[in-house]
């Protein structure tokens, strides 16, 4: 008799170890900013390689950013984002704390302050492979852009259960910048 199984999820090399480390930190009941920084430390130590995603998943889509929600639970979710060259987010903030790291390529991040009727640019960061950072609302308004000529892949851990729709953006900002 022939027995064949079709696992719903591919093998995610490195993901179980990462999830264990994240749970250790989220169970400490630190404030959101400290949680984000502690989870960023875990991500730095246990950063998976690009083989976390299947070859197909790593391709992305020329028409839009592609997000792969890899794991969700009550207190956090893990999402990989694939950015083809030139792809850019709207200016946005987030529903919860976030730690993220770059698995491939480079992501250029521009940070903004909300002045009510306009935004002010307050910083620019270039995040290359292996670089990790963490942040928590408020003061988390940014735009991320792949200005390189290779597809970028980043891994994001959000302090929220994204199982309903995968959405980590709280608000998009369409204010003048000055
Ligand atoms: Fe973001």
pLDDT in the model for residue 110: 97
Based on the structure, what is the number of domains in the chain?
1
Residue 131 lies in a domain: yes
Residue 157 located in a structural domain: yes
In a domain, 32, yes or no: yes
Measure 124 CA to ligand 1 centroid, in angstroms: 14
Ligand 1 centre to CA of 109 (Å) is 9
CA of 79 to the centre of ligand 1 (A): 12
Burial 21-45 (b: 16+ CB within 10 A, else e): bbeebbeeeeeeeebbbbbbebbee
CA of 1 to the centre of ligand 1 (A): 50
CATH number at residue 98: 2.60.120.10
pLDDT at 5 over 80: no
Q: What is the pLDDT of residue 9?
A: 76
Residue 108 CA to its chain's centroid (Å): 13
Indicate whether 145 belongs to any domain: yes
Find the 77 Cα to ligand 1 centroid distance in Å. Answer: 14
Q: Is the pLDDT of residue 168 over 60?
A: yes
Helix, strand, or coil here: 114? strand
CA–CA separation, 66 vs 82, rounded Å? Answer: 5
The position carrying tokens 């002045």 is 115
Instruction: pLDDT band for 116, please (50, 70, 90 cuts).
Output: very high
In a domain, 174, yes or no: no
When pLDDT is averaged across residues 100-123 and rounded to a whole number, the result is: 97
- CA–centroid distance, 12 to ligand 1, in Å, is 23
- Domain housing 26: 15-163
Cis omega (within 30 of 0) on the bond before 25?
no
Span from the CA of 166 to the centroid of ligand 1 (angstroms): 13
Cα–ligand 1 centroid distance for 93 (angstroms): 6
Query: Ligand 1 centre and the CA of 141: distance in Å?
Result: 7
CA distances from 23 to 9, 34, 100, 125 (A): 21, 14, 16, 28
Q: Is residue 7 part of a domain?
A: no
- Asked whether the predicted pLDDT for residue 62 surpasses 90, the reply is yes
Cβ of 101: how many Cβ atoms within 10 Å?
Answer: 22
3-state SS, residue 23: helix
Supply the mean pLDDT for the chain.
Answer: 94
């Amino acid at each position: 008799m022939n027995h064949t199984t079709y696992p719903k999820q591919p093998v995610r090399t490195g993901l179980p170890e990462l999830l264990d480390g994240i749970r250790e930190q989220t169970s400490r009941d630190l404030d959101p900013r400290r949680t984000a920084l502690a989870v960023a430390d875990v991500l730095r130590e246990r950063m998976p390689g690009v083989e976390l995603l299947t070859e197909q998943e790593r391709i992305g889509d020329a028409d839009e950013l592609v997000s792969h929600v890899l794991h969700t639970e009550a207190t956090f979710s893990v999402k990989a984002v694939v950015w083809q060259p030139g792809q850019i987010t709207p200016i946005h903030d987030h529903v919860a704390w976030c730690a993220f790291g770059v698995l491939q390529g480079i992501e250029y991040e521009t940070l903004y302050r909300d002045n009510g009727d306009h935004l002010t640019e307050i910083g620019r960061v270039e995040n290359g492979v292996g670089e990790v950072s963490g942040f928590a609302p408020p003061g988390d308004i940014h735009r991320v852009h792949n200005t390189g000529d290779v597809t970028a892949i980043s891994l994001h851990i959000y302090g929220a259960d994204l199982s309903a729709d995968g959405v980590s953006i709280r608000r998009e900002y369409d204010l003048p910048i000055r």
